[in-house]
């Protein structure tokens, strides 16, 4: 792109380019030059919007964490509809079928990024921590509705579902697991606390 031509929504364009690189080539391939080339813009565009590349990556991760907040609200709103296992399966497929697994790899790969993210997420692994809170919040609402046992430990259930879901999706080069495999894990984890028939 010629210098001096304005890019509409440059931040989002750069974030989307970074996601494509992460999904296609992994965290090792993510450089400022790769991002700007993928976005089809001059390298200086990234540095006009971000202090440095780690600042860009930090904002990318925080933006994607914000998207988990939107997904969490939708998941809570689904409480009382469908089945608990079906809602959880859909949530895990959406979460891990996105760039979330690649972002966890990126956070693990880059020490400076991890240090910067500690300000926003002081404990746990960013993205996975927020995803766990999303699942726990949903299970809490379902517990209040009586579809999960009153004595269910929703925090432990959420950790188990996110940890197992991450392991199921991580390390796959191409095809993500099918919904049936995710559903099997979900029904196994919640079998002792679900108060509705499990298929």
Which domains does the chain carry? 1-49 (1.10.10.60), 61-190 (1.10.357)
The pLDDT of 173-195, averaged and rounded, is 90
Residue pLDDT, tens place only, 54-97: 999 999 999 888 889 899 999 999 999 999 999 999 999 999 87
Number of Cβ within a 10 Å radius of residue 93: 18
Confidence band of 2 (pLDDT split at 50, 70, 90): very low
% of residues, the chain, pLDDT over 70: 92
Q: Which positions ≥6 away from 182 have C-beta within 8 Å?
A: 89, 92, 93, 165, 168
End-to-end CA distance of the chain: 54
51 Cα distance to chain centroid: 25
Of the segments 2-11, 113-122, 161-170, which one has the largest average pLDDT value?
161-170
The two tokens of residue 115 are: 């240090």
pTM score, whole prediction = 0.85
Reported as a pLDDT band with limits 50, 70 and 90, residue 197 is low
How confident is the model over 144-172, as a mean pLDDT?
Answer: 93
pLDDT tens for 5-42 read: 444 588 889 999 999 998 888 888 899 999 999 999 88
């Amino acid at each position: 792109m010629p210098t001096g031509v304005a890019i509409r929504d440059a931040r989002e364009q750069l974030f989307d380019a970074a996601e494509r690189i992460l999904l296609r080539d992994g965290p090792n391939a993510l450089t400022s030059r790769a991002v700007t080339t993928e976005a089809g813009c001059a390298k200086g565009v990234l540095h006009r919007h971000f202090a440095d590349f780690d600042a860009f990556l930090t904002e990318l991760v925080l933006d994607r964490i914000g998207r988990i907040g939107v997904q969490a609200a939708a998941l809570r709103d689904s409480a009382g509809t469908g089945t608990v296992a079906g809602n959880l399966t859909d949530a895990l497929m959406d979460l891990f079928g996105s760039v979330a697994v690649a972002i966890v790899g990126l956070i693990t790969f880059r020490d400076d990024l991890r240090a910067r993210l500690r300000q926003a997420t002081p404990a746990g692994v960013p993205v996975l921590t927020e995803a766990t809170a999303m699942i726990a919040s949903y299970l809490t609402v379902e517990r209040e509705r009586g579809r999960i046992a009153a004595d269910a430990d929703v925090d432990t259930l959420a950790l188990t579902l996110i940890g197992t879901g991450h392991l199921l999706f991580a390390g796959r080069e191409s095809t993500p697991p099918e919904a049936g495999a995710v559903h099997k894990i979900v029904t196994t984890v919640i079998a002792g606390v679900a108060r509705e028939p499990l298929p």
